[in-house]
Structure 1
Amino acid sequence: MSLINIKNLTFSYDGSHDPVFENVSFQIDSDWKLGLTGRNGRGKTTLLNLLMGKYEYSGTIHASEGFDYFPYEVGDMNDDTLTVIDRTVSDYEYWRLQKELSLLDVEEEVLYRPFSTLSNGERTKILLAALFLKEARFLLIDEPTNHLDMEARELVGRYLRSKKGFILVSHDRTFLDQCVDHILSINKNNIEVQKGNFSSWQYNKEIQDQFELAENEKLKKEIKGLTEAARRTAAWSDKVESTKNGLLLSGIKADKGYTGHKAAKMMKRSKNLELRQENAIEEKSKLLKNLETADDLSIKPLGYHSSRLVEAEGLSIYYDGRPAVEKVSFSIDSEDRIAIAGKNGSGKSSIMKLILGENLTFTGNLRIGSKLILSYVSQETSHLKGNLKDYAASEGIDESLFKAILRKLDFSRVQFEKDISDFSEGQKKKVLIAASLCQKAHLYIWDEPLNFIDVISRMQIEEMLLKYKPTLLFVEHDAAFYENIATKKVLLGSE
């Protein structure tokens, strides 16, 4: 066990006037299973890169152990997987590698296949196994669950639960609860470390937020009362002074001592009230600094002239003569929220692409309603570039509404001036989702929409879907979202 100390850490990117971190200090234990959470763009990956020594910063980072980062560059993807591991870990015993692979349910024969032929899930497991072969290293694991199906997430979660000495970035609530014992949260104005899993952190955060909101209302009332009292006292003081002067002008001899003393007393009272008001304002300014705004999202789905939008009977989809999907039957009716579930490679995206009109080879029957308007969120974000104004124009959506939705998803106005290609992966996914929410459609088709998206935004999206009940066909491996949203499930193979 050793401590990792971060003191007065300050960092900003070149050309940026806004620091990502400013005088941040915290301490963590190298034996912890630490979950790192925070909204998109708050600096989670930046913090990991700072720990790795990739950027110059002010302040100090002191650790007796070195750091290693996931995912890391593998070099030539055509090399055998064992060669990739050997490049990553210079010295290890083969039996230890066998043990790690066994824990991750990876067959040994995978080691002798080109790394490029492995599935996303197999690559994730191999790279994690290699990381945990290293000695005296604190591991920085950045979003390992993206593109993993639910079965693989469950397995990787169990694997990480058996380990210690890592920081894990993930927005999957169920996954975090499964394998962390502390939470490091990057808030609006500070960084906090708390013992427990994500659910316990969220519970405590909600209690703190409610306390601050109640205190804020109390202080607002107090400030209002003090302001009115100070105004009355100042008016009394002015009135006393004017009375004294009026008596002198009329030739009536005034008791200057008494009148002056009364005015001075009232002035002092006014000053005391003013000081109390300033103290209350200062106290109020300490509140709500870390309150996360999560304004309600909305969507305006179109009603369809028929209760049934899509129907598939005995549907099989083929690539190069080989079936990707075999004999699947399902229907999509108005207000259905249908989850397509299955292991990676089971054909979930293929079904979506076929409904979207891609020219795929298939057998069976697929009936799509006439003049059906679709809105699509893809897995990929690599095509996103340019500014938000031009993107809104290219998608035929209202720019003001589009940006208003992004603001609700925690975009700052400064973000609107940047090129989309410079956004974080989570922010890019929010661009796709915001565009879809701007579109009036009969059927929304979302393919893994939540990859990289922060937890608070995930819950915003959940609440919106439950409130407005759009007809939705989706693939999503976030177990909490899957269970909360799906009204029907289409299972491909065994889930």
Structure 2
Amino acid sequence: MSMIRVENLTFAYPSSYDNIFENVNFHIDTDWKLGFIGRNGRGKTTFLNLLLGKYEYHGKIQSSVQFDYFPYPVSDKNKLTTDILSEVCPMAEEWELLRELSYLEVREDVLWRPFFTLSNGEQTKVLLAALFLNDGHFLLIDEPTNHLDMKARETVSAYLKRKKGFILVSHDRCFLDGCVDHILSINRSNIEVQSGNFSTWFTNFQRQQEFELAQNVKLSKEIERMKKAAQQSKGWSIEVEKTKNGTRISGIKADKGHIGHKAAKMMKRSKSIEARQQRAIGEKSRLLKNLETVEDLKLTPLLYFSDTLVTFSDVVPIFDGKDICQPISFDIKQGERIVLDGKNGSGKTSLLKLLMGQQIEHRGTVAMGSGMILSYVPQDTSMLNGSLSEFANANHIDESLFKAILRKMDFSRIQFEKKMEDFSAGQKKKVLIAKSLCEQAHLYVWDEPLNYVDIYSRMQIENLIQEFSPTMIFVEHDLAFRNAIATQNIRLTVG
């Protein structure tokens, strides 16, 4: 057991005027299982790169462990998996690798296959297994769930629960709850460490924010009351002081000493109230620095004239001449929110692409009502480049509304000046979601919209869908999100 200590850490990219981190201080135990959370663009991956020594910074990071990073960069994916894993963990025995793979429910024959033939989920699992076999290393795991279906997420979460000594960046609430014992959170003004899983942390964070909001209201009222009292006492003191010279009370000359003493007493009271007021102002200034405001989003879905919008009849996507899944039949009806369920590679994305009119080899029919308007959020964000204004213009959406939605999804105004290719992965996904929210449609077709999107924005989108009840068909592996919004689950079985 040892400690990782961060002292007065300050960092900014050379091209930026603002510090990403400023005088950050905390320490963590190398035996802990840490979930690392924070809104998109706050610097989670940047902090991991600082631990890896990739950037220069001010302050200190002290540690006696070696850091390893996931995703691990595989230089030649044509090599056999066993050869790649030997590079990752050269000291590990083959039986140790096989043991770890059994925990992750990966067949041992993957070791003797070229790495590129493994699915994304299998690649994630074998690399994690190898990295955890490096004794004395501390693992930095950056968003491993984006290539994992729901069953694989459960398996990897259970695997991580067996381990210790890692920082895990993830926005999947159920995944985090299943495997971490501490939360490392990047807040608006600091980084904090707290014992417990995500649900424990979130409950405590909400309570703290509720307390600070109530305290802020109380102090605001108190400051205003003291301000008036101080002004009143000061005014009285000045008026009393005026009576010292030339003023007689009932024909008797005023006692200057008594009046002066009374005026001084009132002035002293005024200064005492002002001092208390300043202390209250100081206390108030320390509140709400980490307040996460999540504004409500709006959506205006269109009603279709028919109850049934789309009918899938014995549809089977085909790849390389082979059926991807067993024939599937279902209807999309007005107001339904259908989630497509199934393992990676079972044809979920293919069904959505067929619905969007893309040329996918298939059998069966997809019958769509005439005049229907669809809004699509694809998985891929690689097409995003140029400015937000150019993107809004090219997609014929209202630029002001588009940017207002992004502001509500925690985009800073400085972000509007950047090129989209320089956005974080989560910010790119938010661009696609914001575009869809600008569009009035009969049916919203979303393909894994939440990849890389922060937890607050996920909850924000959940609330939006629950309030406006759009008709949807979507693919998403975040269990909490699915449970919150799906009205029907369509299971795809590999053929």
Which residue identity lines up with residue 199 of structure 1 in the other structure? S
Alpha-carbon distance in 2 for matches of 1:390, 1:243: 73
Alpha-carbon distance in 2 for matches of 1:400, 1:302: 21
Task: Encode CA deviations 1:379-422: one digit per residue, 9 max, x unaligned.
Answer: 11111111212211122112222122112111112222211111
- 2:24 match: secondary structure: strand
Alpha-carbon distance in 2 for matches of 1:258, 1:400: 68
Task: Encode CA deviations 1:433-472: one digit per residue, 9 max, x unaligned.
Answer: 1111111111111100111111111111111110110111
Alpha-carbon distance in 1 for matches of 2:399, 2:269: 54
1:407 matched to 2:417? The reply is no
Task: Encode CA deviations 1:89-129: one digit per residue, 9 max, x unaligned.
Answer: 22221111111111111112212222112111011011111
- Which 5+ residue runs of structure 2 have no aligned equivalent? none
2:166 corresponds to = 166
2:178 corresponds to = 178
2:133 corresponds to = 133
Which residue identity lines up with residue 186 of structure 2 in the other structure? I
Segment drifting more, 227-236 vs 88-97: 227-236
Alpha-carbon distance in 1 for matches of 2:236, 2:261: 13
Which residue identity lines up with residue 69 of structure 2 in the other structure? Y
Conserved 8 A contact 1:303-1:442: yes
2:276 corresponds to = 276
Alpha-carbon distance in 2 for matches of 1:245, 1:437: 74
Q: CA deviation at 1:310?
A: 0.7
Q: In 2 relative to 1, CA 255–379 (structure 1 residues): closer, same or farther, beyond 3 Å?
A: same
Matches within 5 A, 1:88-487: 88-242=88-242, 247=247, 254-487=254-487
Alpha-carbon distance in 2 for matches of 1:335, 1:396: 26
Conserved 8 A contact 1:147-1:451: no
Which residue identity lines up with residue 448 of structure 1 in the other structure? E
- 1:146 match: secondary structure: helix
Alpha-carbon distance in 1 for matches of 2:165, 2:150: 24
Segment drifting more, 91-100 vs 343-352: 91-100
Alpha-carbon distance in 2 for matches of 1:235, 1:57: 54
Q: How many positions carry a matched residue from both structures?
A: 493
Which residue identity lines up with residue 442 of structure 2 in the other structure? H
Matches within 5 A, 1:42-57: 42-57=42-57
Conserved 8 A contact 2:326-2:494: no
Which residue identity lines up with residue 377 of structure 2 in the other structure? V
Alpha-carbon distance in 2 for matches of 1:213, 1:287: 8
Q: CA deviation at 1:239?
A: 3.2
Alpha-carbon distance in 1 for matches of 2:328, 2:448: 20
Task: Encode CA deviations 1:217-249: one digit per residue, 9 max, x unaligned.
Answer: 11111012112212322332343345556849x
Alpha-carbon distance in 2 for matches of 1:458, 1:279: 39
Task: Encode CA deviations 1:270-306: one digit per residue, 9 max, x unaligned.
Answer: 2222221111111001111111111111111111111
Which residue identity lines up with residue 112 of structure 2 in the other structure? Y
Q: CA deviation at 1:361?
A: 2.6
- 2:45 match: secondary structure: helix
Q: In 2 relative to 1, CA 245–436 (structure 1 residues): closer, same or farther, beyond 3 Å?
A: farther
Alpha-carbon distance in 2 for matches of 1:311, 1:232: 76
Which residue identity lines up with residue 157 of structure 2 in the other structure? G
- 1:15 match: secondary structure: coil
Which residue identity lines up with residue 434 of structure 1 in the other structure? A
Q: In 2 relative to 1, CA 115–262 (structure 1 residues): closer, same or farther, beyond 3 Å?
A: same
User: TM-score, with normalisation over the residues of structure 2?
Assistant: 0.96
User: TM-score, with normalisation over the residues of structure 1?
Assistant: 0.96
Which residue identity lines up with residue 428 of structure 1 in the other structure? K
Which residue identity lines up with residue 266 of structure 2 in the other structure? M
Which residue identity lines up with residue 185 of structure 2 in the other structure? S
Alpha-carbon distance in 1 for matches of 2:306, 2:149: 33
Conserved 8 A contact 2:346-2:494: no
Task: Encode CA deviations 1:46-89: one digit per residue, 9 max, x unaligned.
Answer: 11111111111111111111000000210012122122212222
- 2:452 match: secondary structure: coil
Alpha-carbon distance in 1 for matches of 2:431, 2:228: 47
Q: CA deviation at 1:480?
A: 0.8
- Which 5+ residue runs of structure 1 have no aligned equivalent? none
Matches within 5 A, 1:12-27: 12-27=12-27
Conserved 8 A contact 2:243-2:254: no
Alpha-carbon distance in 2 for matches of 1:414, 1:145: 29
- 2:224 match: secondary structure: helix
Q: CA deviation at 1:208?
A: 1.1
Conserved 8 A contact 1:78-1:116: yes
Segment drifting more, 173-182 vs 309-318: 309-318
Q: CA deviation at 1:212?
A: 1.0
- 2:335 match: secondary structure: coil
Alpha-carbon distance in 2 for matches of 1:399, 1:227: 45
- 1:326 match: secondary structure: coil
Q: CA deviation at 1:253?
A: 5.7
1:82 matched to 2:82? The reply is yes
Q: CA deviation at 1:252?
A: 9.7
Conserved 8 A contact 2:51-2:61: yes
Which residue identity lines up with residue 123 of structure 1 in the other structure? Q
Segment drifting more, 258-267 vs 189-198: 258-267
Task: Encode CA deviations 1:281-337: one digit per residue, 9 max, x unaligned.
Answer: 110011111111111111111111112111112112223322224310111111111
Conserved 8 A contact 1:316-1:362: yes
Q: CA deviation at 1:254?
A: 4.9
Alpha-carbon distance in 1 for matches of 2:459, 2:31: 31
Kindly report the root-mean-square deviation, in angstroms, between the aligned alpha carbons of the 2 structures. Answer: 1.8
